[in-house]
Amino acid sequence: MTERRPFLVESFSLQDLAGAMCTNKAYLSKTINHYSGKNFRQYVNYYRIMYSMDLFRNNMSLRVSELAVLSGFHSPTSYFQSFKVVMGEPPSSWCARLRVKATRR
Q: What is the pLDDT of residues 37-52, one digit of tens each?
A: 999 999 999 999 999 9
Which residues lie below 8 Å from residue 82, measured CB to CB, with a gap of 6+? Answer: 45, 48, 49, 73
Q: What is the pLDDT of residue 105?
A: 73
How far apart, in Å, do the first and last CA atoms of the chain sit?
Answer: 33
Three-state secondary structure call for residue 75? coil
Q: Write the pLDDT tens digit of every residue in 58-97.
A: 999 999 999 999 999 999 999 999 999 999 999 999 999 9
Q: What CATH number is given for 40-104 in this structure? A: 1.10.10.60
